């Protein structure tokens, strides 16, 4: 039972590290590239690769920690609850900042958009990971 309580906390740590790592990598790439379109495509590719590897590793750790034999949809929601909550909180924060500052995107809004993207991707990777484990029955 304790392992099932710890899994959302472990995944939240991977979520926070993913946000930090993606922000650092994206900032470095953005400083190095001058071409907007190529830079945007490269940022997206790097984001997907870095986040997928990190979250797949986190899911593997949680899967071994919990020793799930046949994952259920409830396991996905339990493991990803912090990601769902983060999306809601960040959306509310972005809406508040947007209403106070007008329509110009601030650094805070950009950070919020990155946080939402990382959270959505973490949810997606968790769902795919558990689905693959359910279909192949890998333990």
Largest CA distance in the chain: 51
Spatial distance between the Cα atoms of 55 and 72, rounded to a whole number of angstroms: 19
Per-residue pLDDT band at 139 (split at 50, 70, 90): very low
How many Cα atoms occupy the beta-carbon half-sphere of 50 within 13 Å? Answer: 19
**In three state form, how does the secondary structure of 83-110 look?**
HHHHHHHHHHHHHHHHHHHCCCCCHHHH
- Least confident span in 33-37, 40-44, 122-126, 130-134: 33-37
Q: What is the pLDDT of residues 47-102, one digit of tens each?
A: 888 889 988 998 888 888 888 878 888 888 888 888 899 899 989 988 887 777 66
Taking CA atoms, 9 is separated from 62, 71, 86, in Å, by 10, 18, 13
Asked whether the beta carbons of 34 and 77 are under 8 A apart, the reply is: no
Structural domain boundaries of the chain? 2-136
């Amino acid at each position: 039972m304790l392992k099932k309580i710890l899994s959302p906390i472990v995944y939240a740590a991977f979520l926070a590290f993913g946000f930090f790592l993606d922000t650092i990598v994206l900032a470095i790439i953005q400083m190095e590239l001058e071409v907007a379109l190529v830079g945007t495509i490269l940022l997206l590719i790097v984001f997907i690769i870095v986040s997928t590897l990190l979250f797949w590793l986190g899911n593997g750790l949680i899967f071994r920690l919990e020793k799930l034999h046949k994952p259920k949809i409830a396991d996905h929601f339990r493991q990803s609850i912090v990601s769902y909550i983060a999306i809601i909180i960040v959306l509310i924060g972005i809406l508040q900042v947007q209403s106070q500052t007008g329509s110009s995107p601030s650094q805070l809004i950009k950070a919020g958009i990155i946080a939402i993207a990382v959270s959505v991707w973490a949810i997606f990777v968790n769902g795919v990971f558990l689905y693959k484990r359910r279909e192949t029955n890998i333990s």
